A and B are shown apart, each in its own frame.
Chain A
Amino acid sequence: MSNKINIAIVGGGLAGLAAAMKIAEAGHNVDLFSVVPVKRSHSVCAQGGINGAVNTKGEGDSPWKHFDDTVYGGDFLADQEPVRRMTDMAPAIIHLFDRMGVPFSRTKEGLLDFRRFGGTLHHRTAFAGASTGQQLLYALDEQVRKYESEGSVRKFEGWEMLSLVMDDHGVCRGIVAMDLQTLELKAFEADAVIMASGGPGLIYGKSTNSQVCTGSAVSACYQQGARYANGEFIQVHPTSIPGEDKLRLMSESARGEGGRVWVPKTQGDERDPQNIPESERWYFLEDKYPAYGNLVPRDIATREIFQTCLDGYGVKGENQVYLDLSHIPAETLDRKLGAILEIYEMFIGDDPRQVPMRIFPGVHYSMGGLWVDFEQRTNIPGLFAAGECDFSIHGANRLGANSLLSCVYGGFTAAPSALEYVANVERGDSGTNGIYDAELKKQKEINDQIVHSNGSENQYKIHEEMGKLMTENVTVIRYNDRLQETDNKLLELIDRFQNISINDSNLWATQAVPHARQLWNMLQLARVITLGALNRNESRGAHFKPEFPDRNDDEWLKTTVAEYSEEAPVLSYEQVDVSHIEPRLRDYSKSSKKAD
């Protein structure tokens, strides 16, 4: 046996690949697990860009200003030290991507170009056309493929991690994963495990996230003792395109170019929008905010649109409002908004030059995630986390184009941190006797139970109901009585889950068994989100309670920490690191934010 270290990484999005290439570069081995081929991970969806204060525009930008914008944008809930390290590292990360061959958009001189994004006054966002996430993910995928062809990275694509293998001392020693084709379960030994499994958008049924973003993997860790932090902080983007299958992002630039948001004055009006006369339309944003109109800041727009639909004014009784561009000449629209109009046309089939777009706020991102310290270590020895699945950096609200950055920073930090841990820990067999077999057996029993369940409940219906419940009660506007009621209903859904039957008798490559397992884990995480929100009696960033409309630093400048117990998540609170800048009140009322 060589003394090479072997790290298991769960997830091959930006965070997982970033960690993998660092470990391979250091001469060690990686087992990389991903539900989908890593090149098809959710990170491909990101369009806007990646932040870094490279300051090529002579604006006096600096990593410190980037740091301040990020902490301020996050309503001071983020631990400051990791944010400072990330913003310091950001320019080097962007240069590294450039060296790896990412076709970033360029200036005339041939330098990297940067654009403006929300929550800052500087040109700080590097971008590759309108598909930055795709381009960044491919660059890392290529580097990791090099190591794969050399043998230091083994990929397990089409394998789903189900649980951690823990030894008798509570140390993480590997994982159990399932081959999604054969449903074979296998235990994998590892010196350390890095979770990089992305966000949990599917808990809300429809979101802007990809289909594998279930949060199932981190929920499994949580149920095995990992702490989950700030779960209640879920970012909802004001304008997404409701689809039958998902919500697709619609850029705020549509309103920047004169788009108007309205609903019919009559609830449930069945007429097509073109047949509704001007006098029977309610331009509710212009009505309520005469100064800013449709360009009120993102959180306000999201709350207003949401409330309008809850009050029954949604178009044709559904959760949607009109975003109308049809009064603007088609030629102007094509010139200024061509690309995003094409997305709308491609997926909805209507021409937004003639017919108002139907949009609705969409669940977009989870600021919360696995609790980690400043070195990306979870509370379980041997278990690390990076990317959207960890809670660090973004506090109560994420700024656009900071996520791709935090994923790479997290991966680049988790990798050396995991290697250092392994180098310094005693690697004996003490306490590992039979632990792999035991965990494997446990997971097989769960699978058997699911396969043989023959109750009357349909798992896809339960998923739909959970999504609706969470979307209606645990997104934009939160009331304590409804949150309590939501948790009661989640408990009912958990009961009903025990009575499902899977509707696929062919187990080869079946989606029914994995989905059932994900659903269980999503239900557990939904409770963490809901009860975290119920407990936090203040409003901060994305968390808004009309009963407690203000931020309350005296009582709530604290990180929520959830620990699993069978009855309910046990919540406790931790001090936030404010060692660099003094918390101050957030006020964007004088300048509206631009967004991704």
Chain B
Amino acid sequence: MSSKNGTKVRLDAPPDKLRVRIRRREKTDSPQYDEVFEIPYRRNLNVISVLMDIRKNPVTADGKETTPPVWDMNCLEQVCGICTMVINGRVRQSCSALIDDLLVESGGNEIRLEPMSKFPNVRDLKVDRSPMFDHLKKVHAWVELDGYHDLGAGPHTSQSMQAERYAYSRCMTCGCCLEACPQYFEDNYIGPQAIGQVRLFNMHPTGQMDREERLDAMMDDDGIANCGNSQNCVQVCPMNIPLTRAIYETNREVTVHGLFGWLKK
């Protein structure tokens, strides 16, 4: 959000009309093209409400009837991660992207919406992020239990351990970090999201019993060694997940595991 010294910079002279440039694609393999729409400006719009307006009556700025733009949305409060797209060149959630802020930042009356570029583009602004869920399978992102019957309380946990795990556990699989990572292309690298989850489960008293399996996954060709340490990921993460710390600590674990792991076999 645009603010100066903690006070918000207001959009003082809002435009009559808001121009919305959308990067579109009809179908997975068809070419991309831009279309510009114009809607009357109102206060308190976010990108989603603008898209809803356009969807209701899809006519471009020069009066051409067209198809409604397609995008994903669900929670509308930046917690499900589904609505992620590239807005004015920056990857973020469209539900929490406010038009006034975007206009203050850009100084113009146009906003630009594009789909994320690192995932298969289904149509318009919709992408397929199922590779991220596959990564979670690969790194064994769960705690193994003996069963779901009543076995009493879980392990004692300190407040500081809880706070550290909670921070990683807020990852909403949105993919901003992968979009921004210079090393991640078409799934050649497992990426920071999965590394954060390795950290989350390797820290848990029960979860760490499967630690080796996760570290093995980290040592594969698409593993942690691909990270070039550019720190782009941590800057775009909307949940403020300490990704560089996860990478640092997992790297250390992997090194030790690599040195001594084979001795145990």
Question: Which of A134, A146, A346, A512 is the one whose CB lies under 8 Å from B142?
Answer: A146
- The distance in angstroms between the C-alpha atoms of A92 and B148, with both chains bound, is 10
Which A103-129 residues sit within 8 Å CB-CB of chain B? 103-112, 128-129
- The distance in angstroms between the C-alpha atoms of A36 and B133, with both chains bound, is 13
In the assembled complex, A42 has its CB within 8 A of some CB on chain B: yes
Binding site for B on A (CB under 8 A): 21-22, 25, 36-37, 39-42, 44-45, 92, 95-96, 98-112, 128-129, 131, 134-135, 138, 142-143, 145-146, 148-149, 157, 181, 210-212, 243-246, 248, 343, 345-351, 354, 412, 458, 460-461, 503-506, 508-512
In the assembled complex, B34 has its CB within 8 A of some CB on chain A: no
Knowing A99-B151, A345-B8 are in contact, say whether A110-B157 is a contact too (CB < 8 A).
yes
Contacts of A351 in B (CB 8 A): 7-8
Contacts of A21 in B (CB 8 A): 148
- The distance in angstroms between the C-alpha atoms of A281 and B75, with both chains bound, is 35
B85 nearest CB across to chain A (Å): 15
In the assembled complex, B106 has its CB within 8 A of some CB on chain A: no
- The distance in angstroms between the C-alpha atoms of A225 and B90, with both chains bound, is 49
Question: Which of A42, A99, A461 is the one whose CB lies under 8 Å from B74?
Answer: A42
In the assembled complex, B217 has its CB within 8 A of some CB on chain A: no
- The distance in angstroms between the C-alpha atoms of A211 and B78, with both chains bound, is 13
Count residues on chain B whose CB falls below 8 Å from chain A CBs: 72
Which of A346, A351, A512 is packed against the most chain B CB atoms within 10 Å? A346
Residues B76 and A211 in contact, CB atoms below 8 Å apart: yes
- The distance in angstroms between the C-alpha atoms of A508 and B79, with both chains bound, is 27
Residues A510 and B70 in contact, CB atoms below 8 Å apart: yes
Residues A100 and B143 in contact, CB atoms below 8 Å apart: yes
Q: Which residue of B lies closest to A508 (CB)?
A: B27
Residues A145 and B137 in contact, CB atoms below 8 Å apart: yes
In the assembled complex, B228 has its CB within 8 A of some CB on chain A: no
Over the window 117-135 of chain B, the binary record of Cβ atoms lying under 8 Å from chain A Cβ atoms (1 yes, 0 no) is 0000011001001100100
Residues B170 and A134 in contact, CB atoms below 8 Å apart: yes
Contacts of B159 in A (CB 8 A): 105-108, 110
Question: Which of B48, B77, B136, B156 is the one whose CB lies under 8 Å from A111?
Answer: B156
- The distance in angstroms between the C-alpha atoms of A535 and B101, with both chains bound, is 48
* Partner-contacting stretch, out of B15-23, B39-47, B181-189, B242-250: B39-47
- The distance in angstroms between the C-alpha atoms of A174 and B204, with both chains bound, is 40
In the assembled complex, B63 has its CB within 8 A of some CB on chain A: no
In the assembled complex, B68 has its CB within 8 A of some CB on chain A: yes
Residues B133 and A245 in contact, CB atoms below 8 Å apart: no
- The distance in angstroms between the C-alpha atoms of A39 and B129, with both chains bound, is 12
- The distance in angstroms between the C-alpha atoms of A417 and B243, with both chains bound, is 43
Q: Name 12 extra pairs, CB < 8 A, besides A40-B81, A460-B52.
A: A40-B173, A109-B156, A146-B142, A149-B137, A243-B44, A245-B48, A245-B76, A248-B77, A343-B77, A349-B101, A351-B8, A509-B123
Q: Which residue of A lies closest to B207 (CB)?
A: A101
Residues A511 and B169 in contact, CB atoms below 8 Å apart: no
Residues A349 and B169 in contact, CB atoms below 8 Å apart: no
